[in-house]
A and B are shown apart, each in its own frame.
Chain A
Amino acid sequence: MNLLDPQGPVAAANSTILVDSVFIMLAIVVPTIIAILGFAFWFRASNPRAHFQPDFVYSGRVEMVVWAIPALTVILLGGVAWIGSHQLDPAAPVPGTGSPVRIQAVSLDWKWLFIYPDQRIATVNTLTVPAGAELNFQLTSSSVMNTFFIPQLGSMIYTMNGMVTKLNLRADSEGKLQGLSAHFSGDGFPDMMFDVDVISPLAFPDWVAATAKSDAVLNEESYKKLMQQGIEKGRPTYRLDDPRLFDLIASQHIPPGPGPELISDAGRPHSGGHDAR
């Protein structure tokens, strides 16, 4: 999950900006730290060779330089931020080979549901994508906020109930990656890590066909069962009954997921916690 080992163009651009910004700032920061330590050492009271200048308390030239150095750095970095924000806007297209794959991600308590509306399939806690194709994500949440993040593909984004966020990514090489939720969402939060299988574009239709044969069907009823609080250790796959399921969730036609059930009137509900173990 190394951020400096990107597996797609978005992550590569993100990490380039990250590294460049660090180096731009290091060019200022390193000399400053050296100067702090150097001045502190040289002007120690016990050093007879240091020249004591108690009246050196103002210098227009020095003032100009000390305002200019951080200002120039920020102008440079501000440019990086402005251009980077626009080029790497999560919703900006990421052209790829072949037809884009639409994926609708829903964060549940506490698992990820990935719906492939065009392929009429859905998976839980595993995301299978073809290498090289543009991945168009639409994201929402069944209950509380989460953040969808595949570190080696770049750009994370929030999922929020009743709202849809957009994110476009691309995975360039086949292999296994990991994704996670990067926004604390309750007791089962650490179990919201998911697998990302990047497979060859040729194998993708086969995978779709195999998944479509799944016995389990995802529709409103089974979704409502799935959204109950709990941890999913397996990697279930579904045949998608209604391709509009995501819209029903995002538009709150399916009401938000329930929280923990209260078993006593005291302030200490137990159900949620036990699920998480």
Chain B
Amino acid sequence: MLGKLDWSAIPFDQPIPLIAGAVVLFGILAVLIWVVVKGHLPYLWHEWITSVDHKRIGVMYILLASVMLLRGGSDAIMMRIQQAVAYQSQGYLPPEHYNQIFSAHGTIMIFFVAMPFVIGLMNLIVPLQLGVRDVAFPTLNSVGFWLTATGALLVNLSLVIGEFARTGWLAFPPLSELSYSPGVGVDYYAWSLQISGVGTLVAGINLVTTVLKLRTKGMNYLRMPMFCWTTLASNLLIVAAFPILTATLAMLLLDRYLGFHFFTNEAGGNVMMFMNLIWAWGHPEVYILVLPAFGIFSEVVSTFSGKALFGYRSMVLATMAICIISFMVWLHHFFTMGAGPDVNAIFGIASMIIAIPTGVKIYNWLFTMYGGRIRFETPMLWSIGFMVTFIIGGLTGVLVAVPPADFMLHNSMFLVAHFHNVIIGGVLFGAFAGFEYWFPKAFGFRLDDRWGKLAFWFTFLGFYVTFVPLYVAGMLGMTRRMQHYDVAAWRPWMFVAAAGMAVLTIGVICQIVQIVVSIRNRDALRDRTGDLWDGRSLEWATSSPPPVFNFAFNPDVRGEDAYWDIKSRAQQQSLEHEVPEYHDIEMPRNSPTGFVCAFFATIMGFALIWHIWWMVILGGIGAFATFVVFAWRDHDEYVIPADEVAAIDRVNIEERRSLVSMAGTV
């Protein structure tokens, strides 16, 4: 009846996951009870859960990423403590637990923190920057988000029911095959990623279509803000790369469920094929994450320098070059497989070539600052912190792209330090910069400055104190994923890294405090102008938070930095006409499709993991039926009458008038 599931799946003998699970469960229950008792449930359902508004979905993505960041961060803290204490001892985490933690840490941080964070920011901002009212496929957008949430839920379920993969975040076979990982851990891993992968793919398709097909009047490609360009590049990569991941994991699942031999040791299976396939997705994935971050920095550096982005066309070229070359370098993840000198050298050099457009970007940001009037607001601090940190990560990255150097550094703590250097220093700093920069746009009040800057300094410092010791440990021969070790020389560095983790944790706490303090003081921090930072692109041309239809009139774009242009000439369309003529606006209706579909997908995923076949069929039919019902819909739009548009927009105009005339004098 319940497949492989029985009471032994609950880890009663392991207090850590059980207590953690109980606390989380209690937290969720408490929130749910509060929501129901206070009567917020209809609000949540109508305004958020079934919302197809790109801004709301973007916010939910970021919320998911933030919660998962805490989970992944807890894993990181546990790992750093384990490696600090596990010298000539077993530490406090047995291997089967430690191995789950580092696997979950990698999986969560990439798929359920970095991905939803950048996709959330793209969702929130790109339609506004393009001057349009929504994304191309609003309901599909909601489906994408909820499927991502399903994946995150399944991963966290593994904490208390069964186990997570103990194979590392890419689950290399043959270790991940049934013979060496007979538990449900790898199944949790693979099904979570399959389901959330579908979500990511539809998000990618949606955003590519949005950028290609939905731009406001006059917004041709070479007038798009840099963030839109990097969004385009990143989502093209999603569309091209995620099917590879899906296919690869499908093959692994066929091996595990139906006795196929794609990657097994026996019967002609080939593990090297898995390595090639997973990295053919995995390397573009790195750029899927970092390209939007580059876009964010471009916006932030230009805004806070009071200048247009230096070398805009060069930046576009660099972005698209990275987009293409990123597909040609995957083999650098396994130079040590013995492929031969020609292959290694060619992929090494191809990997270095990516450093050229990336270097160009750094210099262009540098020259954007040159001759500017730089305001050191929190997003700008993250950006400068990024530039310094990312260059160091780039240096170590190019270093491991040199095959003979990689022969010493592959899989070492040096490598661990390198990719944290680019992912924390690049993606996470970018996400935080974007968060600080666009939070006022999304919610209408700014974030507390003092706590934001504290968060930056602690995170920045904590990053170096944590990861420089890992570079050193790597130079001392330490490899990654060691549950314990006997080498005395590594130990002091593990202590320092653990101390750095404490500093990083303070940074995260500051960030949480910042949000709490800002919400409490939101009236004092309110921004009524809609253009808090003296911005340059169209998201600042509407109120904060923007009305559901974003713009009462589709903006008319006449050059790069569209809003700056409008401000400088002080001829915003709606200001010229004293009584503009408003029209009805059609907006997509809310739809529970995404939520219901994800509900059934969760059931199906859970049932697949535990081999509960009747439940698989139930979940599958449910998810399919949801789509059929959606496809049969008669009305998918509703009309906001012109009067209502006018009422909303007039308030907006009143509040902004003074600002626009002021900017005209610059």
Name A's B-contacting residues (CB within 8 A).
Answer: 1-4, 11, 13-15, 17-18, 21-22, 25-26, 28-29, 32-33, 35-37, 39-40, 43-45, 50-54, 56-59, 62-63, 66-67, 69-71, 73-74, 77-78, 80-82, 84-92, 143-145, 147, 149, 151-152, 154-158, 160-163, 165-167, 178, 180-190, 193, 252, 255-256, 258-260, 262, 264-269, 272-273, 276-277
Contacts and interface: CB of A to CB of B under 8 A. Distances in A.
Nearest to A161: B265
Given A43-B371, A267-B183, A89 B336 contact: no
Query: Which of A66, A252, A260, A267 lies at the interface centre, i.e. has the most chain B CB atoms within 10 A of its CB?
Result: A267
Given A57-B307, A66-B364, A52 B181 contact: no
Interface string B339-353: 011101100110011
Nearest to A76: B352
A277 B487 contact: no
B359 A70 contact: yes
B550 interface: no
Given A59-B311, A277-B94, 6 more contacts: A1-B487, A32-B363, A85-B342, A158-B338, A187-B96, A256-B266
Given A160-B271, A160-B272, A84 B404 contact: yes
Contacts of A40: 369, 374, 376, 384
Contacts of A11: 408
Interface stretch (B128-136, B142-150, B392-400, B538-546): B392-400
B554 interface: no
A219 B457 CA distance: 61
A52 B479 contact: no
Query: Which of B266, B356, B364 lies at the interface centre, i.e. has the most chain A CB atoms within 10 A of its CB?
Result: B356
Nearest to B376: A44
B411 interface: yes
B175 interface: yes
19 contacts: A29-B392, A32-B363, A35-B366, A36-B387, A40-B376, A43-B372, A45-B306, A86-B342, A91-B340, A145-B271, A147-B411, A157-B338, A178-B487, A193-B487, A256-B266, A260-B182, A266-B5, A276-B483, A277-B90
B408 A85 contact: no
Given A21-B402, A57-B308, A161 B174 contact: yes
Contact of B373 (A43, A158, A264): A43
Nearest to B176: A144
Contacts, number: 335
B336 A21 contact: no
A165 B370 CA distance: 53
Query: Which of A78, A81, A92, A187 lies at the interface centre, i.e. has the most chain B CB atoms within 10 A of its CB?
Result: A81
B162 A3 contact: no
A266 B8 contact: yes
B407 A43 contact: no
Contacts of A82: 345, 348-349
Given A57-B309, A78-B352, A143 B180 contact: yes
A8 to B, nearest CB: 12
Interface string B365-390: 01111111111100000001001100
Contact of A256 (B4, B265, B348): B265
Nearest to A166: B338
Contacts of A21: 398-399, 402, 405
Given A18-B408, A85-B341, A54 B371 contact: yes
Interface of B: 4-6, 8-9, 11, 90, 94-96, 99, 162-163, 166-168, 172, 174-175, 179-185, 187, 265-266, 271-272, 305-312, 314, 334, 336-338, 340-342, 344-345, 348-349, 352-353, 355-356, 358-360, 362-364, 366-376, 384, 387-388, 391-392, 394-395, 398-399, 401-405, 407-412, 475-487, 489, 609-610
A190 B485 contact: yes
Contacts of B407: 14, 88, 90, 154-156
Given A14-B407, A86-B345, A2 B476 contact: yes
A260 B338 contact: no
A264 B182 CA distance: 11
Contact of A63 (B95, B314, B344): B314
A152 to B, nearest CB: 8
Contacts of A29: 391-392, 394-395
Nearest to A22: B399
B408 A151 contact: yes
Contact of A36 (B384, B402, B412, B482): B384
A63 B404 contact: no
B408 A276 contact: no
Contact of B408 (A15, A87, A268): A15
B182 A259 contact: yes
B311 A62 contact: yes
B162 A266 contact: yes
B487 A52 contact: no
Contact of A54 (B168, B307, B489): B307
A77 B398 contact: yes
A267 B185 contact: yes
Contacts of A145: 172, 174-175, 271
A147 B336 contact: yes
A207 B370 CA distance: 69
A144 B388 contact: no
A273 B369 contact: no
Contacts of B485: 190, 193
Given A26-B395, A88-B407, A277-B94, A69 B359 contact: yes
A86 B340 CA distance: 8
A52 B373 CA distance: 6
Nearest to A152: B477
A63 B180 contact: no
Contact of A52 (B359, B371, B398, B475): B371
A45 B374 contact: yes
Contacts of B309: 57
B3 to A, nearest CB: 9
A5 B338 CA distance: 24
Contacts of B344: 85, 89
A116 B408 CA distance: 25
B311 A66 contact: yes
A167 B337 CA distance: 11
B475 A4 contact: yes
A10 to B, nearest CB: 8
Contact of A276 (B95, B368, B387, B476): B95
A18 B399 contact: yes
B171 to A, nearest CB: 11
Contacts of A186: 99, 166, 175, 180
B54 to A, nearest CB: 30
A177 B60 CA distance: 53
Given A21-B405, A51-B371, A272 B411 contact: no
A152 B355 CA distance: 30
A143 to B, nearest CB: 7
Contacts of B341: 85-86, 89, 92
B395 A78 contact: no
B446 to A, nearest CB: 18
Given A1-B489, A22-B399, A182-B479, A43 B349 contact: no
A11 B407 CA distance: 9
Nearest to A160: B271
A80 B9 CA distance: 53
Query: Which of A156, A165, A167, A258 lies at the interface centre, i.e. has the most chain B CB atoms within 10 A of its CB?
Result: A156
Given A3-B476, A90-B407, A160-B272, A84 B402 contact: yes
A190 B483 contact: yes
Contacts of A180: 477, 479
Contacts of A33: 388, 391
A2 B4 contact: no
B477 A2 contact: yes
A266 B9 contact: yes
Given A3-B476, A143-B180, A151-B477, A84 B403 contact: yes
Sorted from nearest, which 7 A-B pairs have the closest CB atoms?
A267-B184, A1-B477, A53-B371, A70-B359, A151-B477, A273-B96, A66-B363
